[in-house]
Structure 1
Amino acid sequence: MYIRDMWRIYSFTVLFLIVVFSTYCSAVNETQFVNTTKSKLKILGVFGHLGKSHFDVFEPLLKELARRGHEITVISYFPRTDNAKAKEPLPNYKDINLTDPKVGVYLDIIDLNQLKPSFFHVINDLHLLRSMADFACNTGLRHPLITELLRSDEKFDVILTENFNTDCFLGFVHHFKVPYLFLSSHQIMPWTNNDMSNEDNPSYIPTIFMGLTRPLDFLDRLTNALIVPFLKVVYEYWFRSADQVIANEVFGSNLPKLRKIAEQSSALLVNTHSSLHGSRPQLPNVVEIGGLHIPPRINPLSKDIAEFLDNAHDGVLFFSLGSMIKMTTMPQEKLDAILKVLDSIPRKVIWKWETDELPHKMDNVMTRKWLPQFDVMNHPNIKCYLGHGGLLGLSEAVYVGLPMILVPMFGDQFHNAAAAKTRGAAITISFNDLNEQSLRHAVDACFNDTSYRENAQRLSKAYRDRPATPLKTAVWWTEYVARGNGNPYFRSEGADLPWYQYHLIDVVLVLIIVSTALIYIFFRLIKLLLSLLSAIKGKSGSQAKEKSKLKKKD
């Protein structure tokens, strides 16, 4: 009896241990996705460009990260205003303000009298980009607050920085030794595609510097194929060489080559969307966040603007050339043509104009030095947008579904305008061709040709329909890169290859050498064979002659 009871106890104990052990083993073998990193990050944002429109794209992401409890330090020329702080205090959002009252920022600085768009505008654009890069690097990196930051014992988990016209600010990545993300307020630059080994086949992907309409014809492909490598070489040997000198002075002589740091980007967040700029192959860490700056809600308009728009029963033309162009510098001949057309159309016009008064009063036109652009566009009586092709205003018009008249003048505006024209949502006018006739025709088509509105509405639906909002996507990628789990896996191995390996130059050369050697050997063998055959034939002939002589003697 005792033995039986002991056996039962022993059996129960063994069974219990087996069950527990099996459960433990299954738990151990089960895949676990556990975020072992801290939930609150220290993030450094580095934005050394003085263009407000660029920073306007990135600011919503920075504020949202702060709302999520992360500690944000932002180097820029655009600190949060007292009014913004009063509306939404964000104590974990810290500004390092680079603003110099003597210099200011890039607002209303483009003098249209000096603007002469031509086929060779690329050279002018490169010169402008280089001069802005020189100023940003020399002034921003030598600011006393930057010196103080570099001498401090601050530590960060991830860095966000703009990808544009200079790499000098990548020195912060080396200094703090943390992963980083590039943010682009526009289509990807050619040299960035090169750094990341992202596809930029010139046969069908138009470069940002040319206003090429898709699909590309032969001349477009020829132009594209020549300009893309030219831009990459110019950036490598003109831009980067100058940036390296300044960066070495600030961050130390042990700073690696800026290109090497640029190649280590964990992700690139781009302010574009394939519905507008076209579908193209992208690396998994090149993420489209087009419309990041577009707010989630529409704010009520001021009483005077609301009344003006509410009473415009025949529709309103919204006219704005963005934050950098100084409209009052429009050449007189073109300004007279614009005023004549706007004064004569049977519709109202709301116009961003930098001074208190127009050259002459027009009853159907309201001007303001500043306008809440997105809120105005969403008014139901706004029927057409007249702009310059800047990506912020154009993206907002696409989001709302407005047909457009676009007059590109510099930078990526040609590229953006061509993209909207390709989708059938915009009429484009060359600045050189801007006159009374061309503008009148464009305005008439924008209001009366229903195809533009229908195409704009279709484009709007495609632009909005995404698995997640641009802001949520950008936040997720920032936190993901900071966690570091997938950073090594998303980078293209092509980014680490020298150019001759990437383009298979070494393989092609070996194949040419081997093929040449084989052809040479083949012809030598043929020649040798022919020689042998000739010798054999000659020997046979000699033997036949000898036999013939012997027969005669006999």
Structure 2
Amino acid sequence: MWITRTQTVLLCLLMILASYSHANNSTVLKSEKRLKILAIFAHLGKSHFDVFQPLLVELARRGHDLTVISHFPRTEKAIAEEPLPTYKDISLLDEKLGILVNVVDLNLINAFSILPIPIRDLYMLYSMAGVTCEICLKNPEVKRLVDSGEKFDLLLVESFNTNCYMALVHKFNAPFIQISTHQLMPWAIDDLGLSNEASYIPTMFSRLPRPMNFFQRMRNVMTIFISTMVSRTVYHWQAQSIANKYYGPGLPDLASVTNNASFMFVNTHYSVHGAISFPPNVIEVGGIHISPKVKPLPANIKKFLDEGHEGVLYFNLGSMVKTATMPKDKLNVLIKVFASIPRKVIWKWEVNEMPELSSNVLVQKWLPQYDILNACCSNYLLGWPRSPHPSGLPHTALLKMSEIGTTSDRRSVRNSQLRNPRYSENAKKLSKAYRDRPSTPLETAVWWTEYLGRGNGLPYVKSEAANMPWYQRNLIDVMLALALLALLSIYVSFRALKYILTRLKKKQEERNGGMSSKKRD
């Protein structure tokens, strides 16, 4: 299977790991307290919101009052299927702007490829942050909610590319949980009072494998330093400026508000992303978006997959990338590669015009990815390490690290790459470790959310390092003091030794002078 986009790679990987019955997991008891929860998810990316939505829906099912600020209000169809009267939307959707679905032009990505990857990624995130902050903070319904003085028991906020929504957190003055849909950003790690373990954990922006050699570790350190400094300056100035524009003056430093998060839910799991030391308030909920329910496939797709006796190659660049913008020369190479593979190929293609394809290829504008992957997800993955998203390559690197798949470029796909028995064995081992948990990811997230709502959380679970200056947290002041003490000790010792040697020399000279006088007499 050839997976070529961050969300697609990770979803298929997690589906391999999450192919287990939820019936075997213990059910979390419902909270006795009915909570009022405000969820602020203002990013335009549907793939991001799809990670959070199961948690929001489950909390509403359990009777909690949800007010959700997002670009993705529940559809009429979803409401008809499950009304959820305690789930209220405040829609940020702008019909002219739309959402980030099929919007990334691959020609534009190629044009920016001359820039160093971290710079390109940081610029993209900065641009998106400015747009989303303006849309959310100036929204009339959001402002009315703030002005109403309504109280909430807790807030849920995405941890991504801006702190501007901390203005709302400050206004509502309630405990809050941050949620990351991916490996933590370097600045989020810093906000939590953790150390960026640059010696063995590649940052998202470095695009490095694990383990790293000396030069890769050096590059990782520099990437972490640059990205964190950009966040602390350029990103922070932008967020503070927009927040002050709509909710100032009098707003505190937004970075200081971020440091007071009660919990951080992270869409990772140590069996996939590697062992990382987290404090008690960082909860791994990798796979929270994977539903135990699988819908029947459309008839044409089911028939096509059933005829794929040699296996199926599923090709999808994700929800944001418009595959039809692929340069013609690269598209022709892909078509030839697909024609040469002795298996079925199913491909997401967003426009009506399509070059002539071989009979083994099926294209559709939109695919029910989750249901397809449940039907045909195999024991191997092949990643294409060319993504416009900061986390694109790290996920393909995970394939190699876990040895459940490999990466390839457009010209080198071989059928032998899709039939390596080692991948199947390693996938089974990894699946066993991944699914062996005391509760499902969704149950875990719900329990900790209600735990905070019951009045727990700060200061019991938060690391004191989160509010310490960086130089104190990294013991720079202590090391400088010890270095100065060592230098002072050396200086004092040097002066004392010099004094002693001078005195000894003087006495020796006096003795030598006395002996010379006696000889003359």
Fold equivalence (TM over 0.5): yes
Q: CA deviation at 1:377?
A: 1.0
Q: Kindly indicate whether the alpha-carbon contact (under 8 Å) linking 1:44 and 1:72 is maintained by their aligned counterparts in 2.
A: yes
- Which of residues 163, 166, 169 is equivalent to 1:167? 163
Q: Deviations over 1:490-545 (max 9, x none)?
A: 11111121122122222122222222222122121122112211222222233333
Which of 61, 77, 81 in structure 1 is aligned with 2:75? Answer: 81
Q: How big is the shift at 1:402? A: 4.2
Of structures 1 and 2, the larger Rg is shown by: 1
Summarize deviations over 1:339-388 as a string: whole Å, max 9, x none. Answer: 112123221111111123531143211122111112111214x54xxxxx
The match for 1:63 is 57
Q: Is the 8 A contact 2:381 2:405 kept in 1?
A: yes
Aligned with residue 427 of structure 1, among 399, 406, 413: 406
Any gaps of 5 or more consecutive residues in structure 1?
1-34, 384-400
Q: Is the partner of 2:383 in helix, strand or coil?
A: strand
Is residue 2:489 matched to residue 1:495?
no
Match of 2:395 among 391, 401, 416: 416
Paired residues of 1:78 and 1:99 also in contact (CA < 8 A): yes
Distance 1:55 1:106, change over 3 A: same
Match of 1:396 in 2: none
Residue correspondence of structure 1 range 124-135 to structure 2 within 5 A: 124-135=120-131
Q: Contact 1:75–1:97 at 8 Å: present in 2 too? A: yes
Deviates more, 1:227-236 or 1:519-528: 519-528
Q: Does residue 525 in structure 1 map to residue 496 in structure 2?
A: yes
Correspondence 1:100 to 2:102: no
Superposition misfits of 4+ residues, deviation over 3 angstroms = 545-549
Distance 1:167 1:257 in 2: 10
Offset at residue 460 of structure 1 (A): 2.5
**Aligned residue number for residue 412 of structure 2:** 438
CA–CA distance in 1 between the matches of 2:314 and 2:41? 31
With a CA cutoff of 8 Å and minimum separation of 6, indicate the structure with the bigger relative contact order. Answer: 2
> What CA deviation, in whole Å up to 9, does each residue of 1:409-428 have, x standing for no partner?
12210111111221112222
Task: Report SS of the residue matched to 1:378.
Answer: helix
Structure-1 separation of matches of 2:108 and 2:495: 68
One-letter identity of the residue aligned with 1:55: F
**Partner deviation per Cα, 1:145-182 (whole Å, 9 max, x = no partner):** 11111111311000001000000001111111110000
Work out which of the residue numbers 134, 137, 142 in structure 1 matches 2:133.
Answer: 137
CA contact (8 A) 1:182 1:269 kept: yes
Q: Paired residue for 1:404, among 382, 393, 400?
A: 382
Moved more, 94-103 or 483-492: 483-492
Ranges in structure 2 where 5+ consecutive residues have no aligned partner? 1-28
Within the alignment, does 1:148 sit opposite 2:126 as a pair?
Answer: no
SS at match of 1:281: coil
User: 1:347 & 1:534 partners in 2: Cα distance?
Assistant: 93
- Separation of aligned partners in 2, 1:226 and 1:466: 36
2:323 maps to which residue?
A: 327
Match of 1:215 in 2: 211
Structure 2: distance between partners of 1:151 and 1:542: 95
Q: State whether residues 79 and 95 of structure 1, in contact with CA within 8 Å, keep that contact through their aligned partners in structure 2.
A: yes
Q: C-alpha displacement at 1:408, in angstroms?
A: 3.0
Q: d(CA) in 2 for partners of 1:363 and 1:254?
A: 65
CA distance in 2, matches of 1:134, 1:486: 31
Provide Cα deviations, 1:117-152, integer angstroms capped at 9, x if missing partner.
467121111111001000011122101111111111
**3-state SS of paired residue (1:222):** helix
Aligned partners of 1:533 and 1:405: how far apart in 2?
A: 76
Verify the 8 A CA contact 1:406 1:426 in the aligned structure 2: no
**Total equivalences in the alignment:** 489
The separation in 2 between residues aligned to 1:510 and 1:449, in whole angstroms, is: 56
Alignment match, 2:423: 452
For 2:17, the equivalent position in structure 1 comes to none
- Partner AA of 1:126 in structure 2: L
Distance 1:167 1:173 in 2: 10
**Structure 1's 356 and 456: CA in aligned 2 closer, same or farther, altered over 3 A?**
farther
Q: Give the aligned residue type for 1:417.
A: T
Aligned-pair distance for 1:199? Answer: 3.3
- DSSP-derived class of the 1:533 partner: helix
Please name the residue that 1:32 is paired with: none
- Aligned-partner Cα distance in 2 for 1:293–1:313: 30
**For residues 434 and 504 of structure 2, what CA distance do their matches in structure 1 show?**
76
**Deviation, structure 1 residue 91:** 0.7
Say yes or no: does 1:41 pair with 2:20.
Answer: no
Alignment-mate amino acid for residue 332 of structure 1: K
How far residue 406 of structure 1 moved from its aligned partner, in angstroms, is 2.8
What is aligned with 1:260? 256
SS in 2 for 1:539: helix
Pick closer, same or farther for the CA change 1:119–1:419 going to 2, 3 Å: farther
| Alpha-carbon distance between aligned partners in 1 of 2:480 and 2:422, rounded to the nearest angstrom | 53
Equivalent of 1:196, from 181, 192, 195? 192
Q: 1:231 aligns with which of 211, 227, 231?
A: 227
1:114 matched residue in structure 2: 108
Counterpart check, 1:515 vs 2:515: no
Shift of 1:474: 0.7
* Aligned pairs (5 A) from 1:358-397: 358-380=354-376, 382-383=377-378
Aligned twin of 1:338: 334
In structure 2, how many angstroms separate the alpha carbons of the residues matched to 1:404 and 1:220? 24
Per the normalisation by structure 1, the TM-score is 0.85
What's the RMSD between the two structures over aligned residues?
A: 1.7
CA offsets per residue over residues 82-110 of structure 1, 9 Å max, x none?
A: 00000111110000001111110101011
Q: How big is the shift at 1:251?
A: 2.2
- Measured in 1, the distance between the counterparts of 2:215 and 2:516 equals 72
Partner of 1:287: 283
SS of residue paired to 2:165:
helix
Matched residues in 1 for 2:42 and 2:517: separation?
Answer: 98
Q: 1:142 to 1:486 in 2, by over 3 A?
A: closer
| Larger deviation, residues 513-522 vs 166-175 | 513-522
Shift of 1:62: 0.2
- Corresponding residue for 1:72? 66
SS of the residue corresponding to residue 79 of structure 1 reads coil
String of CA shifts for 1:9-68, please: whole Å, max 9, x gaps: xxxxxxxxxxxxxxxxxxxxxxxxxx9x96100000001110000000000000000000
Question: Contact 1:199–1:281 at 8 Å: present in 2 too?
Answer: no
State the TM-score, normalizing by the size of structure 2. Answer: 0.90
Distance 1:515 1:405, change over 3 A: closer
**Counterpart Cα distance in 1 of 2:355 and 2:188:** 44
Equivalence for 1:467: 438
CA distance in 2, matches of 1:333, 1:453: 34
Letter in 2 for 1:230: I
Q: Structure 1's 291 and 305: CA in aligned 2 closer, same or farther, altered over 3 A?
A: same
Deviation by residue 1:306-329 (Cα, 9 ceiling, x = unmatched): 111112222111111110000101
How far apart are the structure 1 equivalents of 2:353 and 2:419? 30
User: After the TM superposition, which of the residue ranges 524-533 and 153-162 deviates more from structure 2?
Assistant: 524-533
Listed one character per residue, the Cα deviations across residues 250-277 of structure 1 (whole Å, up to 9, x for unaligned) are 2222211111011001010001111111
DSSP 3-state at the match of 2:412 = helix
Q: Report if aligned partners of 1:112, 1:325 keep a CA contact under 8 Å in 2.
A: yes
